[in-house]
Amino acid sequence: MSEAKRLFIGLMSGTSVDSIDAALVEFSDNTLRLHGTVGISFEDRTRQKIFDLTRPGANEIDRMGALDKQMGILFARAVNQLLAETGYTASDITAIGSHGQTIRHRPRSAGTPDQFTLQIGDPSTITQLTGITTVADFRRRDMAAGGQGAPLAPTFHKEMFSSSTESRCILNIGGMSNVTYLSKEGNVVGFDTGPGNVLMDAWISSFGSHSFDKSGGWAAEGTVNQELLDKLLSHSFFRMPAPKSTGREDFDLSWVTSAVEQTITPFTPQDVQATLTELTAVTIANALTETCEHGTHIFVCGGGAHNTHLFERLTTLLPQFKLDTTEALNLHPDWVEAVAFAWLAMRTLDRKPGNIPAVTGASNTLILGGVYYA
């Protein structure tokens, strides 16, 4: 295949810990064509192992080592399934870009003395089981240069979604939410706004068999508890200036439970769900209002794009903006992140920068990731 027309596979497993997303994409002359996708849900046992490693605990190194290998096997299976379904072979693919599964993220904005970020999903195993060169470990080089290590997708957003006729914002609502503001003058701003689906998923999961609130239906049954919302909004992360990034270390079920226990105003479980949905909506709306010019076109991606109730709340809170999903940009909202890491793998092999210092806070642009050759 010519250098101007290459196939890459992007692998993404985010803070929602719901599935492995794999996307086979062709890049040619700064355009992309999606050839196929696969989403493989995690078994409950695997999800729990991941959750357990996001918090300090006993025997961490052995548990992490075993899960690192297991995740590498699962990523490789996703790739091989994608190849089987699309009819391509390993020799057709230039490289895999694997984000990996984040189990700990301690950026400078977390206020910890030692900053680090850790993603697992052994790239050596992926390469061995697929026969395809794999690029992984994208975040640590940025952090070594004083950056947050996240978000990295804004570099991809800038290349693929910028417009000279309108200012745009790519709003990714995954486990956490992040925004990329692309002004029509060419300026780029990007940062995490706080929780996306992570708290809503955690709360509904604690009440039964549902791992997420489909279409936001359970939240829609409740009423926002203003006292609880005010407690949640008092988190210091929301007042921090960008660059900033966050994760489950800041926002998890124990944090919600603590705030709920201190809330005096009567509430139901559905009211808490409604309040957590409002927290996501309000913090996103505040960030967009402070960052984007009036009339900016917002394009939503990630799992939150399917939450009808959340989308309605955002529409209400942001009347000065137009909201769509990234489907309006010819890329389905479920696959933007996976495609971004396929693109970042291409940047690495081409020895081109994958970060934007104004977004991550790094001292300079950098070639990201380690390459594991087939």
Transcribe 253-287 into DSSP letters: HHHHHHHHHT--S---HHHHHHHHHHHHHHHHHHH
Please indicate, yes or no, whether residues 364 and 283 belong to a single structural domain of this protein. no
pLDDT tens per residue, range 343-374: 999 999 999 999 999 999 999 999 999 999 99
Percent of the chain with pLDDT over 70: 98
Q: Look up the CATH number of the domain holding residue 59.
A: 3.30.420.40
Proportion of the chain above pLDDT 90, given as a percent: 90
Shared domain check, 303 and 158? yes
Q: How many residues does the chain have?
A: 374
Nearest to 151 by CA among 113, 112, 107: 107
- Are both 196 and 241 inside the same structural domain? yes
Whole-number pLDDT of residue 1: 42
Three-state SS for 331?
coil
Residue 127 has pLDDT above 70, yes or no: yes
Answer yes or no: do 163 and 117 share one domain. Answer: no
* Cross-strand pairs, 73: none
Task: List strand residue ranges (DSSP E) for 59-133, in order.
Answer: 95-106, 116-120
Q: What is the pLDDT of residue 111?
A: 62
Residue 5: pLDDT band (50, 70, 90) is confident
Tens-digit pLDDT profile for residues 69-81: 999 999 999 999 9
Residues 133 and 195 placed together within one structural domain of the fold = no
Instruction: Tell whether 200 and 313 lie within a shared domain.
Output: yes
Which neighbouring-strand residues pair with 325?
A: 300
Does the pTM exceed 0.85? yes
pLDDT band at 18 (very low <50, low <70, confident <90, very high): confident
Based on the domain organization, do 182 and 112 belong to the same domain?
A: no
Q: Please write the tens of the pLDDT for every residue from 170-218.
A: 999 999 999 999 999 999 999 999 999 999 999 999 987 788 999 999 9
CB contact at 8 A, 273 and 144: no
Question: Any idea which of 15-29, 88-102, 228-242, 258-272 has the lowest mean pLDDT?
Answer: 15-29
The structure tokens listed for 108 are 């400078």
Contact 172, 336 (CB under 8 A): yes
pLDDT (0 to 100) of residue 115: 87
Pair (166, 266) in one structural domain:
yes
How many alpha carbons fall within 13 Å on the CB side of residue 236? 4
Question: 280 φ, ψ to 5°?
Answer: -60, -45
One-letter amino acid for residue 52 of the chain: D
Residue 2 has pLDDT above 60, yes or no: no
Q: Among residues 190, 195, 135, which one has the least CA distance to residue 342?
A: 135
The dihedral sign for the CA sequence 209, 213, 219, 221: negative
- Residue range(s) defining the domain that contains residue 234: 153-329
Domain match, 58 and 77 both: yes
Q: Residue 113's pLDDT band (boundaries 50, 70, 90)?
A: low
Domain count, the chain: 2
Question: In terms of domains, do 175 and 227 share one?
Answer: yes
Mean pLDDT over residues 45-58, rounded? 92
Q: Are 232 and 256 in contact (CB under 8 A)?
A: yes
Q: Which residue has the tokens 């850790």?
A: 118
Query: What are 128's strand-pairing partners?
Result: none
Strand partners, 16: none
Same domain, 140 and 157: no
- For 270-300, the pLDDT digits (tens) are 999 999 999 999 999 999 999 999 999 999 9
**Residue 262 to residue 148: CA distance in whole angstroms:** 32
Mean pLDDT of the chain: 95
Q: Tokens 């909506």 belong to which residue? A: 281
Q: Between the CA of residue 190 and those of 311, 325, 337, what are the distances in Å?
A: 20, 18, 15
Residue 365 burial (10 A CB sphere; 0-12, 13-18, 19+): middle
The residue-averaged pLDDT of 39-58 equals 92
Region of 267 (left: φ > 0; alpha: ψ -120 to 50; beta: rest) is beta
The per-type count for the chain, helices as H runs and strands as E runs, is 13, 12
